[in-house]
Every structure is written in structure tokens, then in C-alpha cells.
Structure 1
């Protein structure tokens, strides 16, 4: 039998303490020779052995690509809850290179001598089974309810997490029938040693594993067969063990560098060649996704028709990586399939797949931070552009920069910093380029240099029919007009070309005020903002006060100057808008300001409750209405972003973002009836809204975002480019 797993090779190194660096050096040599895996036996009671877990950690730091595993971990001497956290930690620190081999315990006299109560063979198997469930439970922070708690490992409120970097496989070192059945039910791999196996018994041992796997509703091929072998094992024997007995990972046991080198250079190529040739002749197929993963698939999706270019770049609900891509910053999601193409052709193939599934929701994601949450869905398709994150200077003299939609703005800022350039980009570095650069882009440099879309000079766009077109002032100008403010309606931008702005040091300003008289504070803030030179942009944020504390408002933003006297002059009007509680002013680069986000996946829950509006004025009456909302306690987040300045210099008809007269972008969060009432009163004073900060949907929201003439123009273009409405799940114009 041959289960079809990819053939891999590892090394089995003695963790000797005679020369403590020797095992590490052998691991490094194994990596250089191209081995897939390095393993160490675990016998903590041996006086001549290093501690295996410490050695694994040290070796992980001393290597970069080879995977690591205990062969196998002596479970009775290591509490499984601690093992789970240690394994996840090592996997995270090593970049997903840790695998977990477990054993129920052998040499019980030595184990008992270490202070651990002796178990019968049956009890040891029961303990191992409990441990596997417990370890996997700790690795799954999304699972609800208490952790598995059993007779051998009773728990009293232990917590889940951390989650490892990848789905750590659990292999079991097993020989006896009960352990083999456990392997079939629960393990990802069987790891015996060739010296303990009898050829005549191999068939029966595999069958026990396979029968147990089928009884648990698993495909027997889900259990990888690994084997520890002596360094002198013949190539033909190894090939036979793979093709006849199902083993696919061979771990050579030796501490001899010369033997390792010979095995890598002579044995491995020969074995691979023999196995691959026979598999081609037989038509052997790889095992594919597990039964559990297949059961998690959603209805209405032709998973088997995923284009070849996207295989290996597709995440399904049953995959370990799904938890990192299902949700956005604020919205919980459960898409049926997530594509992660890394080139334009992959995006085109993903669009073709979406066209064949028009009945499903379609989300396009650049960074996933968008507060509207439109880049995830329930049961539909998500095209995640995180793999298209290149940042390239095209023309130094003209400051032309090409940026992929999946790049994060803090990465862009760092890449441009050595050139003394910047592209205005909101206020949070974790936002993806694609969403912001097709919606508008209201940032700290907006009053001085315009919106992000105002620095865009060209874009490459995949249309609904899969065609790739270039949009600029000279090529497809109507599409270029639409991309700048309504890009989600007309296609997927796979490449942006911006003209960056020269910039030096800037002042990063943070001011905290007593907001008890919020109406006066807001009105004075507006007066100071409108009188400020364009090089000064300070956002305002306020929200529900903590119990028994006065409400506060915070101003934060940028003064584009490194001249201390200029900075002080610019700040003076703002310092008197209300009683000042705290202040901070720091000089640094624009990249220092915008690099403020961790590079972690989003895990939003529920539905966001964001509201957006654009104000042409913030006089006393409007300030009073806004102040009532701020002081009501119904919103934890109320923000004003100044626009105007260079943003207003651009004619309204020049881009699909048409609200150029607005002076403030207003954002608030809330869900209560009192919030809705107060927001409605403020909303009556708006002239438009900014879609990037709006979570409500519907034709009325779209009509507020685009003035009638703009909307009519967009409708005409939509009919030409996307007549069947493929891009309909992110504020569609029809």
C-alpha cells in the first residue's frame, strides 16, 4: 500500500551533553544538506543527555528552515497543558517549524525514579489520549466551552492559547495494538523505529491504524507513516517501505556527519527517484484534505474546480489558516473559500471562479481593516490580495512608486523613508493600500497634499470579465476617474502607481483636553483648524467618559515642520480650545508616525456599528448637536478629521470622490436607540458621507456617498464594465 504522501527525510540525533554544541552542529549540517526534519530523543532521566525541549528551542534559534520535533516526547514526565503552550510558543518563535511526537512512556523504572507515579500500559494509553485532546483544545482559542478534562489530567479552569503558527501535527510512537488504534483515531502520524518492527507484522499494524481511522470517520491516508531507520539502510529497502508498506518520512539515526552527508547526497536522490517513478506508473494520488476539512466545506461552491494557479493558495473553512482570514478588523465572517493569489494571473483566475459562482457573496480584501467589514461574508468567496504587496520605485526623478494592493501603509512609509518621500495614508499603518486608495484616503497630510487618490497617477485593474487594463489620465480615463473614490464598483486594482511627496521630519502632536464643555471645545477646535496653515492637520477623538471621571478629548496629528518655532506657533491656537490636561510633541519621520500597527491577523466579531458623515461647517449650532452626542455616553468613539485645504483644490468632478467642499469627516460608533436618535440629529447637517467609515448598506447610503451627477456617471460605467453586477457586495451603485 502507498498512501501517497510527499516523501520526506529527517535525522535522529542523540542529545548528548558530552559536547553540548555537537547536536546543534549536526542539525545545522542537516539543514545545509537539505533534510526536511531534525529530531531528538527524549529521555530526561539519562544523565548523559541534554534536556530535549531546551535543545529543540536552542536548535530552532540556530537554524532557519528545517523543521524540528521530539522523537518522541516522554509524556508522563511533561504535563500536557504545559506541553501544548510550549509547543505553540516554539512553533510561533520558529516560524511554524515545530512538529510534536508523543509517547505514552517507556522505561517506567526510570520514569518513576523521577517522581512520577507508575501507570499500567492501559492507563498510559488512556493518559495519552486525554493529553492529545487537551493539547489540541489549548491550541484552538476559537473553541468555546471548557477544555477537555479527564481522569488522568483533570483541569480546574485552564485557559486556551496561544495558537501555534501552523497546524502542528501530532505523531505517536506506537507498537502495540491499543496504541496503534489510538494512532488511527487521533494522531496525524505513526512514528515507530525500523529495528522494533517485524516485516511479517507490518500489514496487520497498518490495518489496525486504518480500521481505527475509518471507525473514527477518517480517511486512513490522513495518518502519515514515519519511520526511524539506521543510516546504512539500503535505498531499495527504503523505496519498498514506501511503496509496499506506506511509509513516506524516513528519519535516519546517526550522529556521524559523514554518514549524514552520504545519506543526503547518495541515498535520498536514489530513493526519491525510485518512489516517484513507480508512483507515476501507478498513478498514485496524494491524500488531499482531511475528512474533517472536507466536512467543513460550504454548499454551492465547486471546490474541485479551483483553478490550478490557485491550488496551494486557497483556504477553506476546515483549514488551520482559516481562522486568520475569515474575519476583518471589526466584522466576524465565515466565507466558504478564501483565495490568496500572489500575482495578477491568480487574481484573474479568482475572478473567473467568482463569475462561475455569481450566486455567492464576493469580498475583495487588501488589508481587512476597513470598518465597513465588506471584505468578508458568510458562505461566499473572498479574494485576499495580501500576496500582492510589492513596493517599487519606478522613477526616482519623478518620485513614481508602484505599490501592490496588499501592502500595508506602514510598510509603504518605511520603504519611502530613505528617499525622503511620503504618500498620505490615513492614520493607521495596518490598513491595506487597496481599500483606502480606491475610496479616498483622509490622512495626516491631507490638508497639505490632498487625498491618497490625489497622488494616484495610474492603476492596473482586473475587470469583472477578467480583462487586465491600465487606467490613467491618458488610458481608460473614465475608469481612472471611477477608481479614485468608487474603485470597489469597477474592478480589482492589482497595482497602483503614485507620485510621492517630498517630506522631512514632522512633529507628531498629542494633546488631551477636558471636554466637559464639549460644545465650546468643538467650536474652538474648528476655528483653530480652519485658520491653521495647511501643514497642520490634527484629528479630534472623544467618547464615553469613564465612571466618576471628566470627559476628555484628544487631538493627534502632524505638523509638517521640524522648525521648533514653527511648531510652537502652529500649536498656540489649539492649546486654548479647552483646559489642557496633557501634551506631547515629538519630532520624527512620517514613517515613525504611521508605523503603529502589529502585523497580526484580524479577529473581528459580530457586525460593526460605524456611522459616517461629511460636514461643510462646524459652527456653534452644529457643535452643540455634536457635543450632546459626545457627552451622552452612547458612543465610545467620536472622531473629526479635517479635510479641505489641498483636498478642496481638486474639482468635484475630477474624481468619483466628489465631496471636495467638506471641511470635516465625522465618524462615530454606536448601536443604542439613544445613539441613533442623536446621530440622526447630527446627520441632518451632513452633506455626504465617506464610505470607508460607514458600516450601513443600501441604496440610500450609496446615494449619500455620491452626488447625483457622480452617481449617474458611475451607473453608466458600471453598466459597461460590470453589467451582471459581479462586484455588488461593497456599496454597489446599483
Structure 2
């Protein structure tokens, strides 16, 4: 180790990676950002995480926490600081099969979770890719393939093992530290390092899975029909709609639909309205085991191979203006990748004050992403016409958090409570996100 960093604490020997270590290229980056941290720590337990936090504070190093996987926002690395990479903390187990309570460590990825729970006939709805890490989603929100049936991941977190910035290890549940549990369910990134979760899973083995491709009219009628269909759809149906530029000013929509049923007749009935969303150019439908949606084939090293910046917003209504703006953003000279995920259903059940994720009336999550070469300008100019239609935002898809975005993540009294609790649990701001002005 570099003399600047000094000696390694005994409990971290063999778990510290610096730029001269052959492991460094594998652990320095996220999926979207190539980082240059001074040190990466690979803890194997909550006490190791506590030691890593002390190590960072003693050397005045900025801290980033990485729960293992995809992380489109890229916040799991930094330049010149310390990264706590939880990948080794990836155990998944069933605590109580009768109540469907499972324990998942924060460094697991959703492919690993799905594989571990499948033999028990259980699943957790979160993430749309097997490489997505548990910790970031389970502290930020959690929009998965069965979100309208299951709700958000944070809605089913019953307890969290948390390492506070000062190294204190706590269990947060309804009886012990309920305030800490509240803030960890939606605003955990600035409050503590989650190392394990107890989560209520759902009974599930197989699902209906369909994809269809449809043309998109410039006025956005296709998007409005999709939104109307989802507003009246049964909770069993969750969808993602991705706008794909054709390079000639036109756009196609790729819709992925998941039905939480293994009965063909039910799946057909639930899917039927979707095939009227527009001029369908292609379609497929199957019954598949849930783990196929978050496949272990997705697991890979994250080396900054997909440089991108993202932003997002939540729509309550797909108005004509919003639909037109989204189509234009995806079809312009420098198009954004626009991805929309249906909400509603079970996501509306909790009271807004129940968790730090307070967005309980919006119906669509809209994500905009831009890619090189003109990443910042493309995202800024492409998103500007869309932004006025948005009603709140989701922290996990924001590459450049600011004071303004914080107010959209955590509106009104929710934001006041989040800040108060973050100051209580991390008074020196060691783990607070560092938004720009």
C-alpha cells in the first residue's frame, strides 16, 4: 500500500485494493463510470465496513459505497477517495418460509437472489437486470418486473443491518430504531451503509413474459394509449416501454410485459389490450421461470463499459404535451434513450409518509439517458422540454444530484425529515451525497 495511506487495519488485511494491485482494474469502476479511487475496500462483514469507514475518516477520504452491480447513476465510485465494494457480502437465505421472510446481504445481485429463492418458490420484485445490486435498490426504492403486483422493494423491507458513519452497527426495524428504518427505506444512501436486509418475498415460480414492437406516432398517441391501458390494467401486469430512435426522425417502442401468473388463459386476457396500443410490428409471449428475467447470464464485471449519464422524473398523467415531448426527445438529432416503467397498483397502497420514498400517486417512471460523445449537453437539451411535465423524481437514476433534485426526490415534509435524520445518523456528512449547486 502507498505510504500516503499508511498501514492497513488488521481486520482489512487482504481486503484493500490500491492502484498497484492487479485486482484494481476489476473494482475501480461502475457499469457507467470509470473511477480512479485511491483505495477500494472489499469487506466481508459489517465490522469490516465499520473499519473501512474509520480508515476513510482517518485519512480524510471521500467515501462511495457500491452494492455490487449495474448502478446506472454511477455513484458507486469516485476519484481519489475510498470505495466500499460490498460484492463479497452476497449471501441469501430464507429466515421463515411460512411468512416468506428472507435475508439478503447488500452486495448480492438480483440474479443471485432469484436463483437462491427459486427452489423455495419465492421471489422479490426488484431490478430489471440480473447484474443490478441489492443495496442501492433496497435503500432507494425498487422498481422491478412485478412492481404493480408487489410494490416497491422498500415497501417489503422489514429490517436493515446498518453501519453508521461512526462505525456503530445497528439493527433497524419497527421496534428498534424505527426512524433509521424509515430513512433507510428510500433515503439510505446518506444515512448509513446497509449491509443486510430482511425482506418479505412473494410466492412465485413462473410468470407470463411478452415483448412487442410498435411504431410510435409523432404526436405521442401510442404513449397515451399505453398509459391509459396501464391505468386500467390489473395489478398482475407490469410493463416497461423503451423508445428507440430509427435515425430518420421516427421512433419505435419496445414494450416488455410481465404477468404474475403461470396460467396461459389469464396471461392472454391480461396482455390482450396491449396489442391494441399501436401498429404492432412484432410480438412474442412465453411462460418462463422468474429467474430468466434476471438471469445469471447478466452477471459480469463492471468496468465502465457503458459510459452514460441519466436523469429521470415521475409522471402522474401522460398528457398530450408530455407524450409529444418524450417522442421528440427520443427522435431528435441527438436522441435520448427514453425508458418508461409502469407504476400504480401496489405502489399506491402505502401512505406517502410510510417510507422516505413518498411518491405514491404517480403512474409512470421516465428515465432519460445520454451517451458519448456529447453526454452532458445531449442530456440537458434533450430533457429540458420533458422536465416541466414531471412530478417528482427517483434518486437511483440521477447521475448529477443537486439541491434541486433532492427536493424532487424527497418533497416537502419528507425532505425535511430525511435531512433531520441524515444529520442525526451522520452528523459530519461522511455518507451524505455531495450534490453540486
User: Which residue of 2 is the match for residue 323 of structure 1?
Assistant: 25
- Equivalent in 264, 270, 292 of residue 570 of structure 1: 270
Higher relative contact order, structure no. (Cα contacts within 8 Å, ≥ 6 residues apart): 2
Tell me which residue corresponds to 1:464: 165
- Of structures 1 and 2, the larger Rg is shown by 1
1:700 is aligned to 2:404: yes
- Residue of 409, 421, 424 corresponding to 1:717: 421
Which residues of structure 2 form unaligned runs of 5+?
none
Q: Is the 8 A contact 1:538 1:642 kept in 2?
A: yes
Match in the other structure for 1:418 = 119
Residue 607 of structure 1, CA deviation: 6.0
Q: Distance in 1 between matches of 2:76 and 2:157?
A: 23
Aligned CA distance change for structure 1 residues 364 and 639 (closer, same or farther; 3 Å): same
Out of 287, 301, 305, the residue aligned to residue 587 of structure 1 is 287
**1:439 maps onto 2:143 in alignment:** no
Specify the SS of the correspondent of 1:485.
helix
Aligned to 1:728: 432
Q: So what's the TM-score if we normalise by structure 1?
A: 0.57
The corresponding residue for 1:526 is: 227
Structure 1 residue 596, shift from structure 2 partner:
5.7
Match of 2:67 in 1: 366
- On the 8 A contact 1:613/1:667 being kept in 2, the answer is yes
- Distance in structure 1 (CA, Å) of the matches to 2:156 and 2:133: 16
Q: Are the aligned partners of 1:612 and 1:665 in contact in 2 as well (CA < 8 Å)?
A: yes
Cα shift at 1:630: 2.0
The 10-residue stretch of structure 1 (650-659 or 614-623) with the greater mean CA deviation from structure 2: 614-623
Structure-2 separation of matches of 1:550 and 1:658: 36
1:552 is matched with: 252
Q: Residue 7 of structure 2 is aligned with which of 300, 305, 314?
A: 305
Shift of 1:496: 0.5
- Say which SS state the counterpart of residue 710 (structure 1) adopts: helix
The separation in 2 between residues aligned to 1:480 and 1:352, in whole angstroms, is 23
Give how far 1:605 is off: 6.0
Match of 1:632 in 2: 332
| TM-superposition CA deviations, 1:315-356 (whole Å, max 9, x none) | 110111100011100011000000001112111111111221
CA distance in 2, matches of 1:345, 1:589: 37
Residues 693-723 of structure 1: CA deviation (Å, up to 9, x unaligned): 1112221111211112111111211221111
Give the whole-Å Cα distance in 1 for the aligned partners of 2:55 and 2:90. Answer: 22
1:477 & 1:357 partners in 2: Cα distance?
Answer: 32
Q: CA deviation at 1:302?
A: 4.4
Encode CA deviations 1:524-558: one digit per residue, 9 max, x unaligned.
110111111000011000132245x9531100131
* SS of equivalent residue, structure 2 residue 6: helix
- Summarize the Cα distance change of 1:705–1:649 in structure 2 as closer, same or farther, 3 Å threshold: same
Q: Which residue of 1 aligns with 2:38?
A: 336
Q: Does 2:247 align with 1:543?
A: no
Considering only aligned residues, what root-mean-square deviation do their CA atoms show, in Å?
1.9
Distance in 1 separating the partners of 2:364 and 2:208: 22
Tell me which stretches of 4 or more aligned residues in structure 1 moved more than 4 Å: 672-675
1:372-383 counterparts in 2 under 5 A? Answer: 372-383=73-84
Instruction: Pick the structure with more helix per residue.
Output: 1
| 2:386 counterpart SS class | helix
Partner secondary structure for residue 195 of structure 2: strand
Aligned residues: 433
Aligned counterpart for 1:683 among listed residues 366, 380, 387: 387
Deviation at 1:728, TM superposition (A): 2.6
Farther-moved stretch of structure 1 (597-606 vs 703-712) = 597-606
Distance of aligned partners of 1:316 and 1:590 in 2 relative to their CA distance in 1, 3 Å threshold:
same
Does the CA-based 8 Å contact 2:148-2:238 persist in structure 1? yes
Q: Aligned with 1:305: secondary structure?
A: coil
Alignment of 1:121-160 (within 5 A): none
Contact 2:37 2:77 in 1 (8 A): yes
- TM, length-normalised to structure 2: 0.95
Structure 1 position 602 matched with structure 2 position 306: no
Shift of 1:398: 1.2
2:353 to 653, 659, 663: 653
- Measured after TM superposition, the shift of residue 513 of structure 1 is 0.8
Query: Which residue in 2 is equivalent to 1:345?
Result: 47
CA displacement at 1:574 relative to structure 2: 0.9
Query: Is the deviation greater in 722-731 or in 489-498?
Result: 722-731
1:607 to 1:556, Cα distance in 2 relative to 1, 3 A: closer
Q: Which residue of 2 aligns with 1:614?
A: 314
Residues 357 and 729 from structure 1, CA distance in 2 versus in 1: closer, same or farther, beyond 3 angstroms? farther
Whether the aligned pair in 1 keeps the contact of 2:309 and 2:376 (CA below 8 Å) is no
Q: Distance in 2 between matches of 1:413 and 1:728?
A: 31
Q: State the alpha-carbon separation in 2 of the partners of residues 605 and 318 from structure 1.
A: 21
Cα drift, residue 565 of structure 1 = 1.7
> Residues 635 and 669 of structure 1 are in contact (CA less than 8 Å); yes or no, is this contact kept in structure 2?
no
SS of the counterpart of 2:167?
coil
Tell whether 2:97 aligns with 1:393. Answer: no
Cα drift, residue 673 of structure 1: 4.5
* Corresponding residue number in structure 1 for 2:191: 490
Identify if the C-alpha distance between structure 1 residues 302 and 368 changes in structure 2 by more than 3 Å, giving closer, same or farther.
farther
The alpha-carbon distance between structure 1 residues 306 and 674, as it changes in their structure 2 partners (threshold 3 A), is closer
1: distance between equivalents of 2:431 and 2:146?
31
Measure, in 1, the Cα distance between the counterparts of 2:396 and 2:333.
24
Aligned partners of 2:69 and 2:109 also within 8 Å:
no
Shift of 1:433: 0.6
Is the contact between residue 689 and residue 705 of structure 1 (CA under 8 Å) also seen in structure 2?
yes
Distance 1:379 1:672, change over 3 A: closer
